[in-house]
Amino acid sequence: MTTEATAQPQRARKRIAVVMGTRPEAIKMAPVVHALRARDDLFETIVVATAQHRHMLDQVLAIFRITPDVDLDLMQPNQSLSELAARVLTTMDRTLRDLQPDLLMVQGDTTTVFATSVAAFHLQIPVAHVEAGLRSHDLRNPFPEEMNRRLTSVVTGIHLAPTPLARRELLRENVPAEQIVVTGNTVVDALHQLLEQPFDRRGTALEGIPFAGHRLMVVTSHRRESWGQDLENTCHALRQLVDRFPDLLVVYPVHLNPNVRKTVMTILADAPRIHLTEPLDYAAFVNLMRDCHLILSDSGGVQEEAPTLRKPLLVLRKLTERPEAFQAGLSKVVGNSLDAIVGEASRLLEDEAAYRSMVSDANPFGDGRAAERITRALERWSQGRTPMLQPDEEFGPQTSLPTPAQTVA
């Protein structure tokens, strides 16, 4: 069948449009962009930024030395999800018609990912989805990400699953096995690259914090599901923990959303040894986590980053679509109960054996070679070869047992 995407004369190289809109997308796509551009004999790689998150996206692109070829600059103040989705859909339709890519690549579960994938589907452009197959099985947790990734999978032709468990989730949804490749998560590649670069706290929001002589706990909590009472519980738990442990120092980069800031500032602004900072750029945040003793977070990305950095993690959610770390004993889902947060954090601060049990050199999310596997898979795809990767080339044990998303007991 002749399509709008392939109606042009046959190219010597496959043109791949890599689309990103938020900081997590840029972090996880950066290694892929560099790997694809290293094979410019095979691929013409075009980076398209929707700028769903303008400032945070630009920070990461600068760190990884990537300049978008097309910058749509779609972010608007106080945009609703529907308004953003509509702008991405209509703008990406025009952009893809102009670019005529042979393949569209998206990552994760943002509004950019969902709307861009629909635009590509309308134009019959194949979609490759990086980090495919994550599932919480609850459309409202996380919101709207669970819907975005499920619907993106429906129009995806190449599912680049990060783990064997993600593959099993896709197979349950009747995705053909030959369309799935287990690559590892590209965030591990990104962390390895970033930690090779020198870092200096001077000139950052971390300058002046008295880290010496303290055990550092890093906290992030900003998700919509946590606004209100749940976030209040988390803040009160932090106050109890610094009262109980005189050597504990907390650094909490506070999200700019007013629903988050009002709660956090009201409860924690005057708390001793709790340092509330502005949002950190990615380099500062990664180095903060590298230097910490313990992490509490409701972030999806941090759930992958903490095991990579060998740091125990308490997940401030009621359930997670990333249960691999939980299954490996490297994280625990504690929800937003004050008692649960204080109890589990205290256990790790008091019990050295319990702490050591949550630290491992084995990373269930990746080995730093995900971008390499993705590039190799796309090379075979471009040549019409199957499978895209041999089983022994994929990431992780292929016998991993399928289990549902982990939830708070």
Alpha carbon distance 242, 341 (integer Å): 13
Q: Please confirm, yes or no, whether 168 is among the known catalytic residues.
A: no
224 part of the active site:
yes
Identify the burial level of 122 via C-beta atoms within 10 angstroms of its C-beta, where 0-12 means exposed, 13-18 middle and 19 or more buried. Answer: middle
**169 assigned to active site:** no
Q: Which of 54, 224, 290, 293 is catalytic?
A: 224
Residue 145 designated active-site = yes
CB atoms within 10 A of CB 199: 15
Separation of alpha carbons 402 and 392, rounded Å: 20
Contact 313, 307 (CB under 8 A): yes
- Indicate which residue of 167, 222, 369, 376 is catalytic: 222
109 to 104, 148, 300: CA distances (angstroms)? 15, 5, 11
Q: Computed from CA positions of residues 90, 45, 195, 320, in that sequence, does the dihedral angle turn out positive or negative?
A: positive
* Active-site option among 25, 102, 109, 304: 109
Cα-trace Rg, the chain = 21
Q: Which of 25, 102, 145, 321 is catalytic?
A: 145
**Does the annotation mark 255 as catalytic?**
yes
6 burial (CB, 10 Å; 0-12 / 13-18 / 19+) is middle
Q: Helix 186-195 crosses helix 370-382 at what angle (to 10 degrees)?
A: 130
Q: How would you classify the pairing of strands 103-107 and 14-20?
A: parallel
User: Looking at 102, 131, 146, 298, which residue is catalytic?
Assistant: 131
Residues with a known catalytic role: 109, 131, 145, 222, 224, 255
